[in-house]
Structure formats: structure tokens, C-alpha cells
Amino acid sequence: MANENTNLKIPTHVAFIMDGNGRWAKKRLMPRNYGHREGAKALKTIIRACKDLGIRYATFYAFSTENWSRPDDEVKGLMDLFDEQLDTLKQYTDENARLIFIGDRTKLSESLQKKMAENEEGSKDNTGLTVLIAVNYGSHDEITRAVKKISALTKEGDISEDQITPELVNSFLDTGNIPPVDLLIRTGGEERISNFLLWQCAYAEFYFCDTLWPDFGKNELIEALKNYTSRDRRFGGVMN
């Protein structure tokens, strides 16, 4: 049987803004945290789909630095869910996936931090799909932390001002030496970036869809990839 996906251009790095869980739950007269639980299921479906489609890096926005402003019970629900999910990620690391967490984890509970470190440590030599999960992540915060680290090294004389290049700044971001984002997908109908991967998306293609995150599955991802395949990426050059 012909594989309908053979003509797809597969981006190296896809980033996802998993938006719309709350509205998905509201439509069903259910609490917002129910939507987040369904969202966690969609996340797992998409990790698998990324692997099947040959994507090398997939980054997921799970909790932003701004999301602390939500009601206490929602924040607690999200943290509890995250804690539970961390116990189940081993199935992916056993399948050769590498897990990396980005964001400022020092503001998270010790239990979460410990589980995050264990998942990272246990999968660091894996060579399959790299999954990055952004928790307490905001680009402004990430860039500010990078600037502080570079500033400290400059002050101590470890690096000179001339050595501060875009490559050096990039390497101090939480994403380190992960390649830049090729395709950014945001579900849930909003067309904004909400403080996500501002530096890393410098030349990303953006794809916005109305599907609410819990309804986003492999077919929706393939639709996004079809759209990406039709784009002409110029990187400041001229059209081919």
C-alpha cells in the first residue's frame, strides 16, 4: 500500500503550544483540570506520532511562567498531573527517546525536580526522538537567566566580550545545542506565541489550528506537516 506520507517534508524540530484544554472541558461542562488530563493523553499520542513520522526533536509547552496566575486549584491540579505523568515517561525512554526539561525548575517542588532529573539522567544516552517538555518556562525568563550566566563569566574573566556571539548566547539557553524550531504548531485557535521559544523560533514556520489540544491527534499532525511541506523557507535569501 502506498504510504500517503512519503511526500511529506519532515521538520527536524517541531514545537507545540498545547492550548485549548480548558475550553475542551468547558464544552463538556467539566472542570478545567479534566481537560488537562485529556490533554496529557493527547501529548502521549503526539510523542508516538512524532517518533513514527521521523521527527528528531519535539518540544511541548506544558506550563508557562505566566500560568502561575491561574486559580490555585488549577495550578495544583497541573502540578499533580505533571508529577503523575513523570512516572509514566519511562515507556518512552525505554523506546530510546531522550527526555529534557526546559524552564526554571527551581520553582517546582523537590519531588518534581527529582523525577525530572531521573528521567533526564536515565535517557541521556538515548539516540531516538528527543522530547523537550517546557515547565515553568518563559522565553523572557530563559533569556534573562542566560544573560546572567554570561555576565557572571565575563565578570570573572572566563570569557571576553568578543566571545559573546549569537552561537554563545544560544548555547546558554535551556535548549542548549538543540537545533532551532522548524515548525511551531499552536492548537486552540489563538494566533500568538505566549512567551514560548522566542529565540529558537527566529525562522520557524507557524501553524495555527482551531482544534483544541485534547482532540489533536496523528491525523491533525499530518495535516500540519502537509501545510509545512508547501511552505517556501527562504531564511532571508531569495526564492528558489
CB-CB contact of 83 with 108 (8 Å): no
Q: Which does 67 bind (CB under 5 to 8 A by kind): Mg ion, ligand IPE, none?
A: ligand IPE
Nearer to ligand IPE, 19 or 205 (CB): 19
Q: Work out which of 23, 37, 145, 226 binds ligand IPE, going by CB under 6 A.
A: 23
Active site residue 19: yes
Instruction: Confirm or reject binding of residue 22 to ligand IPE (CB under 6 A).
Output: yes
Instruction: Confirm or reject binding of residue 201 to ligand IPE (CB under 6 A).
Output: no
Instruction: Confirm or reject binding of residue 114 to ligand IPE (CB under 6 A).
Output: no
Residue 85 to residue 44: CA distance in whole angstroms: 10
Nearer to Mg ion, 84 or 190 (CB): 190
CB-CB contact of 56 with 130 (8 Å): yes
Number of residues that bind ligand IPE (CB under 6 A): 17
Question: At closest approach, how far in Å is the CB of 183 from Mg ion?
Answer: 20
CB-CB contact of 68 with 114 (8 Å): no
Task: Give the cell for residue 140.
Answer: 523572557
Nearer to Mg ion, 19 or 38 (CB): 19
Q: Work out which of 11, 13, 14, 18 binds ligand IPE, going by CB under 6 A.
A: 18
3-state class percentages of the chain: helix first, strand second, coil last, to nearest 5: 45, 15, 40
Active site residue 67: yes
The Cβ of residue 105 has, within 10 Å, a number of other Cβ atoms equal to 16
Helix (H, G, I), strand (E, B) or coil at 75: helix
CB-CB contact of 79 with 112 (8 Å): yes
Residue 201 to residue 112: CA distance in whole angstroms: 28
Q: Which residues are catalytic?
A: 19, 67
Instruction: Give the interface with ligand IPE as residue ranges (CB under 6 A).
Output: 17-23, 61-64, 67, 78, 188, 190, 192, 194
